[in-house]
A and B are shown apart, each in its own frame.
Chain A
Amino acid sequence: MTTYKEIFGKQIKNLSSDPPAALSEGQIWFNTNSGTFKSTVGISSWSSGGTLNTPSYGGGAAGSAMTSMLAFGGATGPSNANSAKTQSYNGTSWSSQNDLPAAQAYNAGCGTETAALSFQSAGTFEYDGTNWATNPSNISPAINEVSGFGIQTAAIRVGGWGPTAGTNYSQLYNGSSWTNTPGSLYAPTAQSASCGTSTAGVAFGGYGGPPNPGYIATIQDFNGSTWTAGAANLPAVTGGLGCAGSSTNAIVFGGHPGSATTFTWNGTSIGSNPSMAAGSNHVTNGGQIAPSAGFALRIGGATTKTVSEEYDLVSTVRTLTSS
């Protein structure tokens, strides 16, 4: 019979107690007290986050760590009015910050908590960690339901809502002005989710056009210049969803019609992932996925306006069984 040492080159250690999960991912040991083989594996899942101060959906978000996230704009209140509210998240609770210069809903957001960008028809706004300032340059045409990704000085605008359908506008913001990228979107869309950098991005789904509901399942890749069809589609048509990460390591979550589903995207294929606890469309998304320490934050939603959920990878000690 082949032994573990023959396969791996090392013997399994005998330990009287389990090592800390955070320090033992991927290791296998024999726990002499319980008489069982054990290992630490990384398990990703969603857990509840803090309750939003201002209920909202369809807003923008920015941030680079679970303890320093920012949400701004969106639709709020019983009348679903556009909101100018800004809220920051410290990993436990949300607190109010200075308002946007103008109310925005279905706006796009990107950047970090101290260098964020928000844009849609009401304007392009830059945040310095304390205050928002209006930039004279704005997306053109200035329409709503855009999505976007990148950083404050290198951001990409994705589509937006035309009179009756999604559009194929793609524009680059360099920190001072917007210009068209060489190529337009592969598929017109509004309410898409997008993430990545100005040289490597991806957009998921969105609203293409009537008849209602005209959502699409298309995944579109951006190489810094042109948009092309992704190597796969979403499993179902959807819009108003969220995503976080990069063009080759992202998670996609929520969306019409009130979905709690979460998928992974590795640049070529879609994978399944644990669902959120509460589904919704028009979630505001934020977060980054890194190979070593990924996280995402789902913020609000059309039917869950005060809810946030945290996604991350938790190291967990598991007993190995033969089944």
Chain B
Amino acid sequence: MELFMYGTATNTGKGFFTHQDRQDFYLAGHPGNVWVIGKNEKGALWLAAKNGVSKTHAEAQAIVDAEVTAAQEAWDALSDEDKLRNGRPGPITLPYA
């Protein structure tokens, strides 16, 4: 049984996800407005209600990878002092199960 589903949705602020949502299903946000959502009925309804777009794991991972690469390139262009201030963004592996 798959535990997660994936999608993109823009965080619109207050009410975008609630305490109840956090109790009803797993939810984790990632760069590129990618969300990993616990795969149950309430999670699916949440993504639909947020006008989200469903993605496969590979599609979601590709979006995150592109964002991370862009962030790493921006970090590489920083001064040495700023590099010390901000750790280099590391890779993000979306959970898959």
Contacts and interface: CB of A to CB of B under 8 A. Distances in A.
B14 A49 contact: yes
Contact of B87 (A215, A274, A316): A215
Interface in A45-99: 45-51, 92-93
B87 A50 contact: no
A161 interface: yes
A212 B27 contact: no
B23 to A, nearest CB: 7
Interface residues of B, number: 27
Interface in B2-39: 11-19, 21-23, 27-31
Nearest to B22: A45
Most buried by A among B16, B29, B85: B85
Chain B interface secondary structure, helix, strand, loop or mixed? loop
Interface string B53-93: 00000000000000000010000000000011111111010
A212 B83 contact: yes
A48 B16 contact: yes
A133 interface: no
A314 B19 contact: yes
Nearest to B36: A277
Interface in A258-291: 258, 260, 274-275, 277-279, 281-282
B29 A278 contact: yes
Nearest to A190: B85
A281 B87 contact: yes
A244 interface: no
Given A45-B19, A46-B22, A277-B22, A51 B12 contact: yes
A92 B13 CA distance: 9
A257 B22 contact: no
A275 B19 contact: no
Contacts of A93: 13-14
Nearest to A304: B29
Given A51-B11, A281-B87, A282-B86, A316 B23 contact: yes
Contacts of B88: 213
A26 B89 CA distance: 44
10 contacts: A45-B19, A47-B18, A48-B13, A51-B13, A161-B85, A258-B92, A275-B28, A277-B29, A278-B30, A316-B23
Given A43-B23, A48-B11, A260-B29, 10 more contacts: A47-B18, A47-B21, A48-B13, A257-B90, A277-B22, A277-B28, A281-B86, A303-B31, A303-B71, A304-B29
> 10 closest A-B pairs (Cβ-Cβ)?
A278-B29, A51-B13, A48-B16, A45-B22, A213-B87, A256-B87, A50-B14, A50-B13, A314-B19, A48-B17
Interface of A: 43, 45-51, 92-93, 106, 145, 161, 164, 191, 207, 210, 212-213, 215, 239-240, 256-258, 260, 274-275, 277-279, 281-282, 302-304, 306-308, 312, 314, 316
